[in-house]
Structure 1
Amino acid sequence: MFQYIPIVLHTYVITKNKLFNININTLFQQLRPIFWRGLLAFIMLNFCNGLTNLDTKIAS
């Protein structure tokens, strides 16, 4: 049983590092468009809300 421990640890470390690197890179690549879309949607939503508020103020 004990002879497998270094192999398991080694593969674990390699996969962890690979996964970590991949996760960090893909996370940033995936988050960037989501972040910008979210920001754009937020701005648009606020803008539309502002317009409707203006409309109601003008109407009243």
Structure 2
Amino acid sequence: HLGDAYWRAGRKLEARFQWSHAKDLDPEPAELATIEDKLANGMKDAEPIDRVSTEKSGGNDG
């Protein structure tokens, strides 16, 4: 989920916005419970993305 990616990147406000938007899309009951938990508590077990190592790789093949 995009909200999860934002959370791991440290962009917590944007993560909560995406989760809130997902809640408006009529998710299944189990998914709704997960979304509501993320809105209330964030992602406790999420590992942050290491931006430094990502930037060093350059991301291109050439």
TM range (shorter): under 0.3
User: Which one has a bigger Cα radius of gyration?
Assistant: 1
Q: TM-score, normalised by structure 2?
A: 0.25
Higher relative contact order (CA 8 A, sep 6+): 2
Q: TM-score, normalised by structure 1?
A: 0.26
Higher fraction of helix: 1
